[in-house]
Structure 1
Amino acid sequence: KRIAENVTKSAMTVPRVTLTLEVDMTDCVQLREKIASDFQKGYGVRLSYTEIILRAAAKLLPEFPLLNASLVEEEIRSHRDINIGVAVAREAGLVVPVLKDAHKKTLGEISQALKPLIELANTGKLKPEDLGGGTFTLTNLGSFGIDLFDPILVSGQSAILGIGRIAEKPAVHEGNIVPRSLMNLCLSFDHRILDGAPAAHFLQALKSLLETPVRLLV
């Protein structure tokens, strides 16, 4: 009920704009396959694309403070902490557990911390502190075969990143038409807090990081 109220409030009161950008995930797919075995041995968990994208967003958000901000009594307040929520769909309804201080965590630490939160969400055992304090949110509908969508902002946040499926499609690469693993990112943002230009710059920077994913390992 609380989530429904927040979603309704956000949809009714926030002037929301959504930008989309296609990302070539081929190198990211190959890197994930290459490190999968060692990653699972070292961290005890299987690396997901949501975690890779979360790591990229957390790495960039300090450079884009308006995307990690709130509007409080007509005043824009950027948050020092970067606490990223991840939307989890359940039969009982959507919940958004929050990974605190995501910008301070390595990819392995993100994966280790997020997996238990997702499990608690799926079993209905999240605590109130697991759900509070979010400053930015990811929602991934790729597993449902969705390419593009228009995510609704979480109340009190300036932006939410929607993630589409990774699909192999013909694309021009180095002058040739070849199969590539392509994915769409959909960034919705509060137009009262920021304009299209900084949101577009964030998406471009995110695309660059995901297309050279080795940078996410450091």
Structure 2
Amino acid sequence: MATKVLMPQLGESVTEGTIAKWLVQKGDFVNKYDALAEVNTDKVTAEVPSTVSGRIQEILIAEGETVSVGTLMMYIVEEGENETSENSPEVTKQTEQSFVPETTGKQPEMKRETINQIEKPTQQGSRGKVRYSPAVMTLAQEHGIDLSLVMGTGIGGRITRKDVEKAVQEGVPAPTFTQGVNLDTEEKTAMAYTTAGLTQEDTRKQNAVTQAKAQPVPIGVGDQEIPITPVRRTIANRMVQSKQEAPHAWMMVEVDATNLVKLREVSKDEFKRKEGFSLTYLPFFIKAVVEALKEFPMMNSSWSGDKIIMHKNINISLAVATDNALFVPVIKDTDQKSIYGIAKSIEGLAQKTRAGKLSIDDMAGGTFTVNNTGTFGSILSQPIINAPQAAIMSVEAIVKRPVVIDDMIAVRSMVNLCLSLDHRVLDGLICGQFMQSVKRKVEGYGAGTSIY
């Protein structure tokens, strides 16, 4: 009896995944919990483990292919069982891996209804507002695709990214008008826009963007075409979505980090010897941010459409870059950690990121983001908000500069802290007060500061 391996649901709103790499081949023997494949989704890259010990009978999905949650990916013949072909009677007795949701694979029956002389497909028995994944919505917006005209092939008739990509390539069906109704072209066009929930001006703008995107980029001799990976596409979509939806505002404060530099200098060697990893400046800045968030809890908020969510827990999202991608793992309950505890969490998440071992839980639940651009020598930056969070702060490079203190010039170690904020949630007053609080806390570090 063979075991079916289905595409798992690697996240609450994830509806599809891309096979980044198969880690096994047909005929290989695998033990229970061995990794079978690396799967990319909108949220995370994860390994799919085997829940049985056995031999790989068949691999059905190619590397690079994107399929819906619940799609059959491979067969594993368990230990002690005879191999069966896909068409043999035994296949009907196959069991599914327990970590994936059970699906029937049956698509919902579709019907057509006429609205304002326009016919459009609707799902039989569907109620309320149709929900789409962020990747589907962003891709549709980029290409001016009306999702109400796209036929979904996912579970329960949901529209997947593959459906939208097909619509981009082949186009979507035009609205069908009831025969016998005498409407001129302008009236039909206006009615089509109304049914889609758009104004004609909206659609003209979307068409202009689509046409601009469709223009091929000239490729010169020696130019290299780099395929867009799922991770890079996700990053691009989220950044575009954040900039389009959140009205960004920006501010920066100068901070005198001289005493912090001295504190780290006298502590780093002993810390490295004792703990086994380096003590960087970042944990000190995160600790200052966390303490300021306690003073101004509105900064620890998220935009949620018709309401603002002010979070009780303080979970700091940390931007971590690899050679070809950017990940944002989360330090949970950061306000309950010492500087050492924050440093240890950063080290652990950085190692997991570089090894490609981040889990869904590692990436979930962030309430405020800190970005350490100073490691690249940057002294001024304007970060993009990690939506739906209300703000993100960049810590720039610490550099020695001449400053005026008590009407005298002194050389001090200075750092710029840059904040991008969602103006739907936050205003300049509270953000200015928050940044001044962070500044005071960083400048207050000194010989008496406890790392533990």
Q: TM-score range by the shorter chain?
A: over 0.9
Counterpart of 1:23?
Answer: 255
- Structure-2 separation of matches of 1:66 and 1:84: 15
Displacement of 1:216 after TM fit?
A: 5.6
Measured in 1, the distance between the counterparts of 2:437 and 2:416 equals: 14
Partner of residue 418 from structure 2, selected from 175, 180, 186: 186
Q: CA deviation at 1:135?
A: 0.5
Q: Is 1:137 matched up with 2:369?
A: yes
CA gap of 1:212–1:130, structure 2 versus 1, over 3 A, is same
Amino acid of the structure 2 residue aligned with 1:14: A
Q: Distance in 2 between matches of 1:43 and 1:66?
A: 35
Q: Deviations over 1:154-186 (max 9, x none)?
A: 011000001111111111124321211111000
Secondary structure (helix, strand or coil) at the match of 2:321 reads coil
Q: Quick check: 44-53 or 147-156, which moved more? A: 44-53
Number of the residue aligned with 1:110: 342
Q: Which structure is richer in relative contact order (CA contacts within 8 A, separation 6 or more)?
A: 1
Match of 2:395 in 1: 163
CA–CA separation in structure 2 for the residues paired with 1:114 and 1:156: 22
| Greater Cα offset, 41-50 or 65-74 | 41-50
Q: Which residue of 2 aligns with 1:96?
A: 328
Is 2:450 aligned against 1:217? yes
Contact 1:107 1:216 in 2 (8 A): no
TM-score (norm. length: structure 2): 0.47
Amino acid at match of 2:450: L
Q: Which residue is equivalent to 1:122?
A: 354
CA, structure 1 residues 54+37, in 2 after alignment: closer, same or farther (shift >3 Å)? same
Indicate the residue corresponding to 1:71 in structure 2: 303
Question: Deviations for 1:90-135, whole angstroms, at most 9, x for unmatched residues?
Answer: 1221111110000000011111111010111122221111111110
Q: Secondary structure at the match of 1:217?
A: coil
Asked whether the equivalents of residues 148 and 164 of structure 1 are also in contact (C-alpha less than 8 Å), the reply is yes
Match of 1:133, SS? coil
Paired positions, count = 218
Is the aligned partner of 1:203 residue 2:432?
Answer: no
SS of corresponding position for 2:243: helix
* Unpaired segments ≥5 residues, structure 2: 1-232
Name the structure 1 match of 2:384.
Answer: 152
Give the whole-Å Cα distance in 1 for the aligned partners of 2:429 and 2:295.
Answer: 14
- The offset of 1:59, in angstroms, is 1.7
Distance in structure 1 (CA, Å) of the matches to 2:236 and 2:449: 35
SS in 1 for 2:418: strand
Using the alignment, how far apart are the partners of 1:217 and 1:136 within structure 2? 24
Contact 1:68 1:78 in 2 (8 A): yes
In the TM superposition, residue 37 of structure 1 has moved relative to its aligned partner by 2.8
Cα separation, 2, equivalents of 1:164 and 1:93: 20
Q: Quick check: 1:9 aligned with 2:230? A: no
1:37 counterpart residue number: 269
The question of whether the paired residues in 2 share the 8 Å contact of 1:36 and 1:46 is answered with yes
Rg: which structure is higher?
Answer: 2
* 1:38-58, Cα deviation, whole Å (9 max, x unpaired): 333443332111111111111
- Matched residue SS, 1:74: coil
Instruction: Report how far residue 142 of structure 1 moved.
Output: 1.0
More helix by share: 1
Q: Separation in 2 of the partners of 1:216 and 1:62?
A: 19
Task: Determine if the alignment matches structure 1 residue 84 to structure 2 residue 316.
Answer: yes
Checking the alignment, whether the CA contact within 8 Å between 1:43 and 1:108 is kept in structure 2 is no
RMSD: 1.5
